[in-house]
């Protein structure tokens, strides 16, 4: 279902003046380039038949869907088949007859008696399914509608306008659907009696609109951003708890990064958003000030997520997970700058964003973004653009030509920028390191070093399936692996592993539980939990054990890199908060002690971002970016999931409140606060 988060949220639209048309067609556009299409056919019996296919960054879905609509506007039957973004097989079906609903998907198989209006939420589906859901909610005249498998849905009209394409004009309206996921889903319908789906916009990223109309919907994007901003500003104002110029956090065990252990109970004084003093617990304050009851909890520095692709809703999940600084590794530059500015000014709630400058080469497999370059000169011009705007590093991507790596790296270094990235197609990780990369992204890119041939095109899904098929055969004691580790060691190359993102790709076969998010699935809306229960890769039954063993080699490589003293970062490339917690658990599973995993998520991030003097440890004079955690994560790393309070520059946030505002069941209760 297109209301799933962290997957392109887009919608199909109307592509002709006459409703009676049997066929309507739509463009799927990334960064101004048409990258796919959806075709919807209304059959004589009223059945809606839809096909959808698009490609961005060498991947995308191929879906065929059939929908029959009941008298109340809900799904009478639903069927979708095809393949997902990463190639897993899709075969999902729903039928409701005579008060009984039956459905099956790769996530579940259920038969249930159902009374009254109820809307099934597909795990996978075309954009047309969103139109059916939206119209059914509008037909309920403002009443919430029960969702299947669970929860309830509502819809709100946010704006209306008229958009033109040549001589054609359409009256359209923006709606937000709530309850299907942890964020509202925004969609544009025609503003008439039919309320047909017109467009869906992911600002700065993608547009799905009637064939040929994508260039005409800029006014819609501006209206949508303004409406979303109003929601987010109101939410931020409600969630923030300013404590004033000075306050004290009492009776906490402070994480001492130098020793890798918690201290005896202490009182931590904060003044002007900075850590002012640390005293033994029970100290007497010299004046009346607010007091937070730490109750013996652990006090950690705010966490760093060093591999994100942020939006204004994901940053809320970051904050709730104890993340106070993130590094964005590729985004629409203007959209990200606006978000970072709003966060810095306190208009929105979330961590501080440090951006990496994304540079991709032009090819049919390119990830479309601001700088998709066709020459070395264009790549160097992109470096200048980022350098002149204060970016600390650039990230090179899959379609950069291998022969460009060294001159780009030298050019960037001369301008004071670090260089990191994917390993370009037709090159190996050791080539990137020798060319001047300061950092490598993704453990699969590192392990492909031992698997690719000169003609292996890793711009495709081969960069994932090759790991599943062959990584189990890598001998980590071999000369090739030892030489690679020695090269990383000698060059001081930093590794951004993103272990959690690959765990569910390689260790979740069809019908199996999700190992990455299984421990939190019962806290989130059912549609997200079902999405997590759906396998990502097409793993043949006879190769499940091989894929699992391949992932274990990735973990073992991570453990050996740590043992060799190679710097490691904690990054996710997935949903905020939850994925970072799992990343730290997997580091421990790889053989990294829990206290060192905490150092990786604090000290290492601060040092790589050149912010160590300002944050990353609990010391006098550093920023009061702090989190209260129940338990002792230096012994049980999973305790890091139980965050009861987050402070960003001294402003308090309760994760319980953030999660519940997003439809997520809390993980820890807030601490007590006494105000004078």
pLDDT band of 8, cuts 50, 70, 90: very low
pTM, full prediction: 0.94
pLDDT at 22: 81
The angle that helices 405-414 and 376-387 make with each other, rounded to 10 degrees, is 30
Q: What is the pLDDT of residues 142-176, one digit of tens each?
A: 899 999 999 999 999 999 999 999 999 999 999 99
The Cα–Cα gap between 571 and 600 comes to: 10
Asked if 129 and 137 count as a contact pair (C-beta separation under 8 A), the reply is no
Tokens of 442: 């993704």
Lowest mean pLDDT of 8-12, 191-195, 607-611, name the range: 8-12
The Cα–Cα gap between 358 and 257 comes to: 32
pLDDT at 566: 98
pLDDT for 73 beyond 80: yes
Please state, for a pLDDT cut of 90, what percent of the chain lies above it: 90
484: left (phi > 0), else alpha (psi -120 to 50), else beta? alpha
Peptide bond into 149 cis (omega under 30): yes
pLDDT at 12: 34
Asked if 536 and 505 count as a contact pair (C-beta separation under 8 A), the reply is yes
pLDDT for 3 beyond 70: no
**Among the listed residues 575, 574, 596, 578, the one whose alpha carbon sits nearest the alpha carbon of residue 642:** 578
pLDDT for 20 beyond 70: no
pLDDT band of 451, cuts 50, 70, 90: very high
pLDDT for 601 beyond 50: yes
pLDDT at 204: 87
Phi and psi at residue 333, to the nearest 5°: -60, -40
Give the chain's mean pLDDT. 94
Q: Which residues fall within 8 angstroms of residue 486, CB to CB, at 6 or more apart?
A: 564
pLDDT band of 616, cuts 50, 70, 90: very high
pLDDT band of 270, cuts 50, 70, 90: very high
Phi and psi at residue 68, to the nearest 5°: -115, 130
Determine the average pLDDT of the residues in 437-457: 97
Beta strands in 321-378 (DSSP E): 323-328, 352-355, 357-361, 372-373
pLDDT at 2: 56
Other beta carbons less than 10 A from residue 235's beta carbon = 19
Tokens of 516: 């990455």
Q: What is the pLDDT of residues 192-236, one digit of tens each?
A: 998 998 999 999 889 999 999 999 999 999 999 999 999 999 999
The Cα–Cα gap between 369 and 331 comes to: 7
Distance spanning both ends of the chain, measured CA to CA = 50
pLDDT band of 5, cuts 50, 70, 90: very low
Adjacency order of strands within the sheet including 494-496: 372-373, 357-361, 393-396, 418-421, 439-441, 494-496, 568-569
Give Cα separations from 593 to 10, 245, 264 (angstroms).
42, 37, 21
pLDDT for 289 beyond 70: yes
Q: Tokens 């495709």 — which residue?
A: 460
Peptide bond into 554 cis (omega under 30): no
Determine the average pLDDT of the residues in 342-354: 97
Burial of 454 (0-12, 13-18, 19+ CB in 10 A): exposed
pLDDT for 7 beyond 90: no
Q: What is the pLDDT of residues 557-600, one digit of tens each?
A: 999 999 999 999 999 999 999 999 999 999 999 999 999 999 99
pLDDT band of 13, cuts 50, 70, 90: very low
Beta strands in 257-317 (DSSP E): 261-271, 274-280, 291-293, 298-301, 303-308
What CATH topology corresponds to 302-616? TIM Barrel (3.20.20)
pLDDT band of 9, cuts 50, 70, 90: very low
pLDDT for 517 beyond 50: yes
pLDDT for 134 beyond 50: yes
pLDDT for 6 beyond 60: no
The Cα–Cα gap between 77 and 97 comes to: 9
């Amino acid at each position: 279902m297109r209301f799933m988060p962290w997957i392109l949220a887009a919608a199909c639209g109307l592509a002709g003046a006459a409703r009676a048309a049997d066929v309507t067609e739509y463009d799927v556009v990334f960064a101004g380039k048409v990258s796919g299409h959806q075709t919807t056919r209304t059959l004589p019996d009223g059945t809606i038949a839809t096909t959808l296919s698009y490609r961005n960054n060498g991947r995308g879905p191929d879906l065929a869907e059939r929908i029959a609509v009941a008298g109340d506007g809900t799904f009478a039957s639903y069927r979708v088949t095809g393949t997902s973004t990463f190639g897993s097989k899709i075969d999902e079906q729903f039928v409701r007859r005579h008060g009984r609903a039956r459905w099956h998907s790769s996530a579940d198989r259920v038969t249930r008696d159902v009374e009254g209006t109820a809307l099934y939420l597909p795990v996978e589906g075309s954009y047309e399914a969103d139109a059916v859901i939206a119209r059914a909610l509008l037909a309920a005249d403002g009443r919430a509608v029960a969702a299947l498998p669970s929860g309830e849905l509502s819809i709100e009209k946010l704006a209306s306008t008229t958009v033109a394409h040549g001589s054609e004009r359409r009256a359209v309206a923006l709606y937000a659907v709530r309850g299907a996921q942890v964020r509202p889903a925004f969609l544009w319908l025609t503003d008439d009696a039919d309320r047909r789906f017109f467009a869906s916009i992911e600002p700065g990223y993608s547009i799905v609109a009637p064939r040929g109309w994508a260039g005409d919907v800029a006014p819609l994007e501006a209206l949508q951003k303004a409406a979303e901003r109003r929601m987010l500003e109101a939410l931020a104002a409600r969630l923030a708890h300013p404590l004033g110029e000075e306050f004290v956090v009492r009776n906490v065990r402070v994480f001492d990064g130098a020793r890798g252990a918690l201290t005896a109970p202490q009182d931590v004084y904060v003044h002007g958003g900075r850590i002012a003093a640390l005293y033994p617990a029970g100290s007497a304050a010299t004046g009346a000030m607010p007091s937070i009851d730490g109750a013996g909890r652990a006090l950690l520095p705010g966490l760093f997520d060093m591999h994100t692709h942020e939006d204004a809703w994901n940053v809320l999940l970051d904050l709730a997970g104890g993340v106070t600084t993130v590094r964005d590794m590729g985004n629409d530059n203007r959209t990200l700058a606006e978000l970072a500015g709003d966060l810095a000014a306190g208009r929105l709630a979330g961590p501080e964003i440090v951006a990496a400058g994304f540079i991709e080469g032009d090819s049919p497999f390119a990830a479309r973004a601001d700088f998709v370059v066709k020459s070395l000169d264009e790549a160097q011009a992109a470096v200048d653009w980022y350098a002149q705007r204060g970016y600390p590093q650039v990230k090179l991507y899959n379609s950069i030509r291998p022969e460009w790596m060294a001159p780009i790296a030298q050019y960037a270094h001369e301008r004071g920028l670090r260089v990191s990235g994917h390993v370009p197609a037709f090159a190996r990780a050791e080539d990137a390191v020798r060319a001047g990369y300061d950092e490598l992204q993704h453990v699969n890119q590192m392990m492909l070093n031992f698997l690719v041939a000169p003609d292996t095109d890793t711009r495709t899904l081969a960069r994932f399936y090759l790991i599943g098929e062959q990584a189990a055969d890598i001998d980590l004691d071999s000369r090739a692996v030892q030489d690679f580790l020695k090269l990383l060691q000698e060059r001081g190359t930093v590794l951004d592993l993103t272990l959690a993102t690959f765990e569910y790709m390689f260790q979740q076969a069809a019908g199996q539980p999700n190992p990455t998010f299984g421990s939190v699935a019962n806290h989130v809306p059912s549609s997200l939990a079902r999405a997590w229960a759906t396998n990502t890769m097409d793993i043949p039954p006879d190769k499940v054990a091989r894929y699992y063993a391949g992932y274990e080699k990735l973990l073992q490589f991570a453990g050996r890199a740590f043992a060799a003293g190679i710097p490691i970062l904690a990054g996710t490339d997935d949903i905020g908060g939850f994925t970072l917690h799992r990343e730290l658990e997997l580091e421990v599973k790889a053989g990294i002690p829990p206290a060192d995993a905490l150092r990786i998520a604090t000290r290492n991030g601060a040092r790589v971002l050149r912010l160590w003097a300002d944050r990353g440890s609990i010391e006098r004079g550093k920023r009061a970016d702090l989190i209260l955690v129940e338990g002792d994560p230096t012994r049980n790393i999973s305790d890091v999931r139980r965050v009861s309070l987050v402070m960003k520059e001294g402003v308090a946030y309760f994760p319980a409140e953030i999660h519940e505002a997003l439809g997520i069941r809390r993980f820890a209760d807030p601490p007590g606060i006494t105000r004078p």
